[in-house]
Amino acid sequence: MNPSLLQTPIDYLKGVGPNRADLLRKELGIHTYQDLINLFPNRYIDKTRYYKINELQRNNAEVQIIGKITHIKTVEQQKGKRLVATFMDETGQMELVWFRGHKWIRESLKINQPYVIFGKTNWYNGFSMPHPEMELLADHEKSLRTAMQPVYPSTEKLTNKGITNRVVNKLMQQLFVETNGKFYETLSAELLEEQKLISKSKALFNIHFPQSQELLSKAQYRLKFEELFYIQLQLISKNLSRKSKIKGFNFDQVGTLFNTFYAEHLPFELTNAQKRVIKEIRNDLGSNAQMNRLLQGDVGSGKTIVGLMTMLLAIDNGFQACLVAPTEILAQQHYNGIEALVKELGVNIKLLTGSSKASERKEIHDQLENGELHILIGTHAVLEDKVQFKNLGLAIIDEQHRFGVAQRAKLWHKNAIPPHVLVMTATPIPRTLAMSLYGDLDISVIDELPPGRKSIKTVHRYDSNRLKVFRFIKDEIKKGRQIYIVYPLIQESEKLDYKDLMDGYASIEREFPKPEYQISIVHGQMKSSDKDYEMERFVKGETQIMVATTVIEVGVNVPNASVMIIESAERFGLSQLHQLRGRVGRGAEQSYCILMTGHKLSSDSKTRLETMVGTNDGFQIAEVDLKLRGPGDLMGTQQSGVLNLKIADIVKDNDILKTARYYAVKTLKEDQNLMLEKNKILRYTYQQLAKHKNIWNYIS
């Protein structure tokens, strides 16, 4: 078949016409034959099996049964009547029900004749089937039918305008007639052979008109593999071409600063995970290519130390380094922590934020440009054009998902040769998602906590246990500990949330009266300076309880805080709950996280709370979160279009994704530009996908 045939506008398909074409474009994004062929069914009605009445389950499934009608009656109800037939097979009986069209249905039904019925079953004191599809067994055996019937994605508008599932099915049949059911192959003979894949034509035919369950499975596997394979091919080739084109500074010295710090100033023994990650980073820095690495590590796993040691490597090689954080509080905290660690090494380190004074800024600008300043830590202020470095060799970005691509690019342009980039995140990204979203970054993971860190005990308590919880807080404060109490903040209902917070604050003040107890409060409607003042009091230990909305989520470090109470915990997402829990457990004492909720909980909320109580492992939590919310939500709106997949599901098809990535890496290692004769098909398909901005051209 001529591949360009698939680019024919959908208007030209027999049975479509201008009005239908317009609807298909607007409602389903179908512009060409290619788009229609890629409209895959989202489920199938299985008519391969005949059920017995005693095998039916109370699950609203669509089933097919052979039996006879023994009795018909009309039943009066509040509004009008319903027609009820008793339907029997040798294992039991059920009811068939009609709410309209009684007259002609009653006339057409034959008593005691074998029928095949098909429809959804309901249970109410026995099984019933409303408005079944019916066919006499004798006719059923004669008719030509595919065993599995596809059900296509649709919208209310399409159905209202008469473009039903049956119509889409007819159009699909017409498309196969016009193309002869022959589609050009998009995978190499070697891949088809190694993966035992069926051909593209056979896969497309069986995804739309499955001849059996087995062929449907083979078709689905083949098409999912292909979709994921080309995504990985694009990501990995981007990564390889960046490495070959973009030269990086070669940090070949492991010098005095790095060695002295490692030998004399490390506050604790590095974990094996930290050692492994530092080794991966050192390999990048000595490879002549620019490093672009994502460092994932759970809250408290020691990413900052790894970041600092990487900065010392840069300084040992005569370069400057910067660390950019999303908020002032976090930047200040990084600065305090790192300055304390390097103060005896003679490293010049400064902090630049929106509230830095003009005189400080001038000094920072001067020292950056003459090379006296080794490390600059700051917020978005670092990205401003007037901040110029003498020779920036390393840029570290903390909590990357809060920075856009454009902001990262600004760091790149601080030098003629772009600096090495290390992106750190405490939001664990499941491997499946990381492979798809950040496949063009190299990924390092710190997957163990430093020794001596006790894991946080997490419990779920209902509002009715509140007095016990208050007693527990008082006991902890007697031991000299501090407490967080966090309320949800959901943008749409800020007034309501503010009221919840203030009501909560009032009841806590009654329960914990002054002067015995001191309470801080922080919420989104306060001025920055007031927030900072309250945070500061809590950090210094002048207040024992911090009542807050989620503004404390990122990075605040108060080792003495040992209890995190999360109010209305069912209103938080899993990753938020996990981030909040990470605010405690930073000292040597046992810490606790208490999730407070009402008794009415949805099944998703129950799953989230059970997951939090069951594990402290951020990656496990992220996997559950991905299953509950799907990839679009997880990465936030700016990236929800990233995985606009047609057939694969990166959660359910994790294994296929890994296989596809393996083959993409293998192919490109052997033939980076796909110039070998055996990869000709891959090169052609890859170019077509890029050219038609087809389903794979959306990589982050």
Overall average pLDDT of the 370-383 stretch = 92
What pLDDT, on the 0 to 100 scale, is given for residue 359? Answer: 93
Confidence band for 688, pLDDT divided at 50, 70 and 90? confident
Show the CA angle centred on residue 563, arms to residues 561 and 568, nearest 5°. Answer: 130
Confidence band for 235, pLDDT divided at 50, 70 and 90? confident
What pLDDT, on the 0 to 100 scale, is given for residue 593? Answer: 96
Q: pLDDT digits over 468-501, tens only?
A: 999 999 999 999 999 999 988 654 456 666 677 7
More confident residue, 92 or 618: 92
What pLDDT, on the 0 to 100 scale, is given for residue 626? Answer: 77
In total, the chain counts a number of residues equal to: 700
The fraction of the chain above a pLDDT of 90, given in percent, is: 47
- Cα separations in angstroms, 654 against 222, 254, 434, 575, 650: 14, 39, 12, 20, 5
- Cα separations in angstroms, 227 against 56, 231, 582, 620, 649: 37, 7, 37, 26, 10
Q: What is the pTM of this model?
A: 0.64
Angle between helices 200-208 and 165-179 (to 10 degrees): 160
Contacts of 406 (CB under 8 A, 6+ apart): none
Q: pLDDT digits over 158-204, tens only?
A: 888 888 888 898 899 999 999 998 899 999 999 999 999 999 999 99
More confident residue, 585 or 683: 683
What pLDDT, on the 0 to 100 scale, is given for residue 632? Answer: 52
Tokens for 645? 């997949």
What pLDDT, on the 0 to 100 scale, is given for residue 349? Answer: 96
DSSP 650: T
Tokens for 632? 């679009």
Question: What does R_g of the chain's alpha carbons equal in angstroms?
Answer: 32
Q: Distance between CA 222 and CA 211 in Å, rounded? A: 16
pLDDT > 80? residue 436: no
What pLDDT, on the 0 to 100 scale, is given for residue 697? Answer: 32
The fraction of the chain above a pLDDT of 70, given in percent, is: 90
Q: Which of 609, 550, 611 is nearest to 576 (CA)?
A: 550
Q: Where are the alpha helices (DSSP H) in 261-302?
A: 272-285
User: Under a CB-based contact definition with an 8 Å cutoff, are residues 240 and 667 in contact?
Assistant: no
Q: Which of 650, 653, 648, 620 is nearest to 635 (CA)?
A: 650
Domains and CATH numbers, the chain: 1-42+152-181 (1.10.150), 48-144 (2.40.50.140), 256-285+302-425 (3.40.50.300), 457-615 (3.40.50.300)
Of 56-65, 327-336, 355-364, 612-621, where does the model show the most confidence?
355-364
Region of 125 please: left (phi>0), alpha (psi -120 to 50) or beta.
left
User: Under a CB-based contact definition with an 8 Å cutoff, are residues 317 and 251 in contact?
Assistant: yes
Point out the least confidently predicted range of 94-108, 315-329, 424-438, 561-575. Answer: 424-438
More confident residue, 206 or 289: 206
* Chain centroid to CA 688: 28
Q: Tell me the residue ranges of DSSP E strands in 347-481.
A: 349-352, 375-378, 392-398, 420-425, 442-446, 457-462
What pLDDT, on the 0 to 100 scale, is given for residue 435? Answer: 67
